[in-house]
Structure 1
Amino acid sequence: MTASLIDYLVEYRGIESNYHDAWGKPTTIAAATKEKLLKAMGYDVDDSNALQQLAEDEVNHTWLSPLGPVQVIRTGIEFHIAVRLPIELVDDKYEAVISTEQGGEVVCSFVPVDGQLTNVAHIEDVEFQEYVVKLEVTLPLGYHSLSLQADKDELANMRLIVAPQSCYKPQEILDGKKVWGVSVQLYCLRSETNWGIGDFSDLAYLLEKSAKQGAHFVGLNPIHALYPAQPNACSPYGPSSRRWLNFIYIDVTAVEGYEQKTVQDLINTPEFADKLRNSRNVELVDYETVTALKLTALEAVFEYQDTLYFSKNTKNNRAFKAFISEGGDSLQTIAIYDALQESLAKKGEPSWGWPVFPEELSDFHKSGVKAFAKKNKKRVKFFLWLQWQAAQQLEQANQVARDNNMCIGLYRDLAVGVSEGSAEIWGNKNLYCVGASVGAPPDELGPLGQTWGLPPMDPEKLYEQQYQPIIDLFRSNMYATGALRIDHVMALLRLWWVSKGDDATEGGYVYYPVDDLLGILALESQRNKSMVIGEDLGTVPPEIREKLAENGVYSYRVFFFEQSKDGGFFSPEHYPKQSMATLTTHDMPTLNGYWNCYDLELGKDLSLYPTQEILNGLYNSRHRNKQAILDTLHAHHSVTDEVGYDVNYVGMSRALNFGMQLHMAGGSSELLSLQLEDWLAMDKPVNIPGTSSEYPNWRRKLTQDLHSIYSDDALNKLALDLTEMRKNVSRRI
């Protein structure tokens, strides 16, 4: 193995050699890390001959393909394509025949040598040349196909994606309106009617009540499909599929057929009623019980609908079949996977994910899987039906937002990846590098760095698949929403890869085709009329924030991170207009927890800090920050003298809590998101980064039910004050 070959592959595959850490310090990636990341990508770094051959094969494959698999262009910019041909053919005349998504056809003639020569290669004594040629054509937005032809014979074809310059913004926002909304973890909602977990009917209620208070959106945690047969694998950021929904959010009582006697006889048994009562009353979501209850009841409802509708040509059957057809292989993948995982679990066989499935069932495309699906056709149909019901109830909730004139309405969250044992990987193994995990280098949120157990997409394979997987993700998560938050939006530019088994500090950055991905994001945003918010926290290179801003993606500004070098907090009046401001996030302590240092106490108990010295430093820093917060709140008259000036004598109070929220409402950000947890002065966090079983992440419920929240005079006044403050800012700016 030669060092030059490794260096070539490192550069070719976009592995970064140097970066600046979260504190601005230049950092170099170790040579051993680069080799491990290449290995995760499929390169046999331990065999120099095999490595050399693979590198040559990849280069040859590129040069022997006259066109790339896909190209993304923007409207208003000259249209160029790269063409690779043997030198004896570059003087010939060719036609680029473009078939548009809208059904039209455009033909452009060109001679490669009239363009710009950009590269040369020799393959088996044949010289190949690459030319970039300009095509004089204006194309509509969309997904088109370009065929390279000579004398009517096709030599190659590629997907051509024409994207707008930026993402969508509602007219109200373009007109200068400043809006606010609440963000929630859907599962944490309490109500008198839900089954121990927040559901889509709770969401509809929340949207309606929030709209009446003047809010213009409700932001959700990811509601991606998880694992019905593994209910305690409950992290919304480690899903099974990001295209499909978590059935657990279905309101069973709102599904047609629930009132039927067969269903009512089932749920009214003493045993079922007791479990349901306990599920509602416990402080933490009992995922096992909720899943069992909902599956049992939904199975009975499905039997009713299946008998009534799905064996004949009914309107419902036609709608169900249309949903299945539109979902394609991706929908079949999640439904078959759920049925298969459930079957294995019931037999007591290993079932946590496809890596432990029997060999004949370890890949969606294997014949054994087809045989299983055929044998268990009705059970697969049931899981298809669950996705249909979830989609319908989500659409109905979104309609409530529209009916109440919310200019955004629902805003969803797209997780950065899926867990190793997911259906998404099972259905497209070629795309994912399961020998590595996505994570983050050390930063303020995670001093030890983080490894999330989410295998990354291979950027080269994503390109070879014509970006279809990312198109599907953006499109499905923007459907029936007014905005999409992209978790860890830096993934569009680069991701921190950690080789399996390594510590998070031993990882390295791998780059992605950011301009292409942003173009696709803008196209889907405009088509779905969905704004885009990028969670740009942590180690953020300046270029990604600039690109996001240019593409109309909203920055994510968290009050506690907006500090100047002298320790003071920037006024929200100085935040970018094109941003979503917030006080806290799901990975941070609540306001109450922050002020009382409960997060530091928890971190100590969970051994998250390497030394007592580091912990002491965090306590000292927190003390200084709290004083700086009081200083800025008083300087901007966001609190009255009811809140003291000296941090040594000021505890968290309603006046301080509400004052901080109104302080944010006076800022320049077009969007403001506030958490219901902080309205309720809750102590415990939703999630503690860097933990799994050490803390009950993703289980904590709200301390009050929805009816109580919206019957609370003080909270209603806070909401109305927020609305008035946002109106005043809109008038002022």
Structure 2
Amino acid sequence: MTDLIEHLVEQRGIGTEFIDAWGKPAVIARQTQIKLLETLGYPVDNEEALLTQLENEAIIEWQTPLNSVYVFRGNDNLQVVMRCVISDAAANYSLRITTEEGVKHSIKFQAVDETLLLAQEIDGLEWHQYAVDLPLSLPLGYHTIELYLARKKLASARLIMAPQRCFIPKAIQKGKKSWGFSVQLYCLRSGRNWGMGDFTDLIYLAEHAAQLGADFIGLNPIHQLYPANPDACSPYGPSSRRWLNYLYIDVEQVDGFQSKAVRTWFEEQGIAARLAKLRAEEWVNYAAVAEIKLTALSKIFAEYQVEHLSKASPQKREFDAFVEAGGDSLKGLAIFEALQMYLKEQGEEYWGWQVFPEQFRNADSPAVKRFAKKHASSVQFHMFLQFQAQLQFENASKAATDAGMSIGLYRDLAVGVSDGSAEIWSNKDLYCTDVSIGAPPDVLGPLGQKWGLPPMDPEMLVEQAYQPIIDLFSSNMKASGALRIDHVMALLRLWWVHNDDDASDGVYVNYPVDALLAILALESQRHRSLVIGEDLGTVPEAIREKLQANGVFSYRVFFFEQAEDGGFYSPSHYPEQSMATLTTHDMPTLSGYWHCDDLNLGRELGIYPDQAVLQNLFAERHENKQHILNTLHGHGSISEQISNDVNQVGMTEALNFGMQKHMAQGSSALLSLQLEDWLQMDKPVNIPGTFAEYPNWRRKLTHNLDEIFGNANLLALAGALTQNRQNESK
């Protein structure tokens, strides 16, 4: 039984050991591996049943003539694996390849003449596995390959041809050093939005930032969350990563807002006064914003149906094309959201598919099909929301590049979807819902992290010919100058934790990293979208080298770039192929860090029950601040009027701006700065490890956008940043 378990552990890519965040070897407990195998459906407590299952799986594999997918890079020798019984090895086969463009190729062969890889006897028949050469030069893209025996089609598969590296703009290849902002879009304040930042605010931000020399605006994940449950607002726990959060729609820009019915509602219900109140609030009131936006958009949609969708209008043709392109994914999302809304109105549980009435828990059930037909207008409404969101995002992206930004908007791809999501509901076979991904203990999370996001099953991902990943990369790169991949280690491995276990009792599960990187490179080149990989935490050095070779930019955070003696590395030593930043959405702001607001807040919230641990953190922070002052003074990044004694230095505008200018003198091709640090804000946007204890993902900026770009000190800072970046480009 032990040999069987070891075989399965290796076959399913389950880790046995790893190097932790402190550089020490860590061994995965055998019991943890066994529990995971159980979760994957293996009867590990019954040797006979396990043997039978493995034998059946092997038979199915051998009797499958082609793999589901073959992935190649542009300069690879093309070889596909095929399987047949030995008695057919001398028969006349053909492989027919059809490219994306419809060009057809045919290769005739006899398996016996090809390279024999393996042989296996099954039920008295000997099966052979061959490597068949394809003497072709195929273009980049997604092609179809079919295997024929004489005129009989035996199997078909996907053949992917990918480039060597991800897209990198020529200016950056030639040494240009760019800077830009990273923002939480909902945080933006303006005198016209409806209580949270929207795509029109984004246009304003991009156009004005471009005038100051910024080359990009980096966004938080803008994935679709839950219209029926707007307070589930974490951008890193979405319902779908393929589709957009409709709350970012500027309702007033949607065709139909000026109709008489909508304007009458707006005026009679005193919406303007309600919106003014929502704009004035310190925190985003998602429930109130959603209630007004959904009401307005539903009224607009009613007008839109009559004016456009009921006729052969240009708008209908454009909408129909959008729906067709969105396919099953868009329809599944729209049905899911219409169903959630319906259940909420009926007073039933609705937060996720797990609590739906039994007949609705499977997306392809007859009851769901009947619901979609009966509530076709509601389903169409939710597709309409995605249509409008996509139009407005594309307009914002065009505005950024038209304003002169060399990169424009860049999106952030969350590492997963939440367990009750539409994405899982629509494709349950792909996800392991008894498991959550997370991270082993590291500097950021000494107890480990458990994110409540079910992982994709690597075997099922291959079986589905990587289509979910292709769709994911493509949809997030569309109309984007760059894509930041949160927890880029997911391309190599993910930390799986059973839902019943602590985060530290997890295990790494490997993913087909070379195939995933190939697809990433292909989509990156197609969309001309630069790729940034968030490679923080427990990261094997080998994967950093692989990411670099594939053209993926590293992510370097100043506070984590420390030498063994505690000193901070100069940003001039960061890799050129990287994005540098001072802080992130999971960290305190510069002011919050310097004044230990995060530690004090953590103490108030009970995050640090062990006082000794907390005191050590205060002592470490004090020491790190001294090292930071030493670094800044050593490089002449701050005035000598600022003391070099940490005991005499509080966070000031001069110190804040000095740190940002210090980063601008670095070697990283990209520098990302947060607007909250420009505004010297102290409250964090998110406190990892908290849920109800703190209003995560709700805090707004302290100033309206027009006030930011009218501030002389901030304009001077922008000029200095642009100058420093230009100097580094020479």
TM-score band by shorter chain is over 0.9
Alpha-carbon distance, 1:722 to partner: 0.7
On the 8 A contact 1:108/1:137 being kept in 2, the answer is no
Query: Does residue 489 of structure 1 match 2:508?
Result: no
Residue in structure 1 matched with residue 373 of structure 2 by the alignment: 374
Equivalent position of 1:590 in the other structure: 589
Deviations 1:696-718 (A, max 9, x none): 11011011111111111111111
Tell which deviates more after alignment, 440-449 or 130-139: 130-139
Amino acid at match of 2:329: S
1:246-395 to 2 correspondences below 5 Å: 246-269=245-268, 271-395=270-394
Equivalent AA in structure 2 for residue 201 of structure 1: T
Change (3 A) 1:585 1:153: same
Aligned partner letter, 2:2: A
Find the aligned partners of 2:310 and 2:46 in 1 and give their Cα distance.
58
In structure 2, distance between residues paired with 1:131 and 1:31: 35
Q: Which amino acid aligns with 1:218?
A: I
Q: What do residues 439-480 of structure 1 show as CA deviations (whole Å, max 9, x unaligned)?
A: 111111111111110000000000000000000000000001
Aligned residue runs from structure 1 range 338-487, under 5 A: 338-487=337-486
Shift of 1:271: 4.8
Question: CA–CA distance in 2 between the matches of 1:264 and 1:650?
Answer: 55
Distance in 2 (alpha carbons) for counterparts of 1:60 and 1:665? 59
- Where does 1:330-729 land on structure 2 (aligned, <5 Å)? 330-609=329-608, 611-729=610-728
Q: How many Å apart are 1:36 and its aligned residue? A: 1.9
Q: Which runs of 5+ in 2 are unaligned?
A: none
**Range with bigger deviation, 411-420 or 170-179:** 170-179
TM-score of the two chains, using structure 2 as the length reference: 0.98
Cα displacement string for residues 620-673 of structure 1 (whole angstroms, at most 9, x for unaligned residues): 221111111111111111111122111111111111111111111111111110
Please give the alpha-carbon distance, in whole angstroms, between the structure 2 residues aligned to 1:358 and 1:483: 41
Write the distance in 1 (CA, Å) between the matches of 2:643 and 2:411.
Answer: 38
Matched, 1:209 2:208: yes
The structural deviation recorded for 1:270 is 5.0
User: Root-mean-square deviation (CA), in Å?
Assistant: 1.3
Query: 2: distance between equivalents of 1:445 and 1:271?
Result: 47
Give the Cα separation in 2 of the matches to 1:530 and 1:478. Answer: 6
- Counterpart of 2:639, as a letter, is T
1:117 equivalent in alignment to 2:116: yes
User: How far apart are the structure 2 equivalents of 1:47 and 1:217?
Assistant: 57
Contact residue 73 and residue 161 of structure 1 kept, 8 A: yes
Aligned length: 730
> AA paired with 1:716?
L
Q: CA deviation at 1:127?
A: 2.6
SS of aligned partner of 1:337: helix
Moved more, 343-352 or 3-12: 3-12
The alpha-carbon distance between structure 1 residues 270 and 66, as it changes in their structure 2 partners (threshold 3 A), is closer
Contact 1:242 / 1:414 at 8 angstroms: preserved in 2? yes
Deviations 1:306-335 (A, max 9, x none): 111111111111111111111111000111
- Deviation readout 1:464-507 (Å, 9 max, x if unpaired): 00000000000000001100001100000000000012110011
Q: Could you tell me which residue of structure 1 aligns to residue 53 of structure 2?
A: 54
Does structure 2 retain, via aligned residues, the 8 Å contact 1:642–1:655?
no
Matched letter for residue 331 of structure 2: Q
**3-state DSSP of counterpart to 2:161:** strand
**Is the counterpart of residue 97 in structure 1 residue 96 in structure 2?**
yes
Pair 1:51–1:607, CA change in 2 (3 A) = farther
Q: CA–CA distance in 1 between the matches of 2:654 and 2:39?
A: 53
Whether the aligned pair in 2 keeps the contact of 1:98 and 1:107 (CA below 8 Å) is: yes
Q: How big is the shift at 1:93?
A: 4.7
TM-score, length basis structure 1: 0.98
SS at match of 1:557: strand
Kept in 2: contact 1:40–1:434 (CA 8 A): no
- State the alpha-carbon separation in 2 of the partners of residues 128 and 607 from structure 1: 62
In 1, Cα distance between equivalents of 2:83 and 2:603: 59
Deviations 1:499-519 (A, max 9, x none): 012110011100000000000
The letter of the residue matching 2:585 is H
Q: What code does the residue aligned with 1:687 have?
A: N
Paired position in structure 2 for 1:218: 217
Give the residue type in structure 2 aligned to 1:382.
F
Q: Secondary structure at the match of 1:663?
A: helix
CA distance in 1, matches of 2:310, 2:248: 27
- The one-letter amino acid paired with 2:232 is A
| Aligned residue identity for 1:711 | G
Kindly report which structure 2 residues correspond to 1:70-81, keeping only aligned pairs within 5 A, or say none: 70-81=69-80
SS in 2 for 1:614: helix
Inter-partner Cα distance in structure 2 for 1:644 and 1:112? 78
**How many angstroms does 1:151 deviate by?**
2.0
Distance in 2 between the 1:111 and 1:51 partners? 36
Aligned to 2:138: 139
8 Å Cα contact 1:15/1:510 also seen in 2: yes
Establish whether residue 69 from structure 1 lines up as the match of residue 51 from structure 2: no
Q: Distance in 2 between matches of 1:708 and 1:251?
A: 21
State the Cα distance separating 1:690 from its structure 2 match: 1.3
Structure 1 residue 107 displacement after superposition: 2.1
Question: Which amino acid is 2:715 matched to?
Answer: N
How far apart are the structure 2 equivalents of 1:304 and 1:122?
A: 67
Q: What is the alpha-carbon distance in structure 2 between the residues aligned to residue 608 and residue 85 of structure 1? A: 60
- Percent identity between the two aligned chains: 57
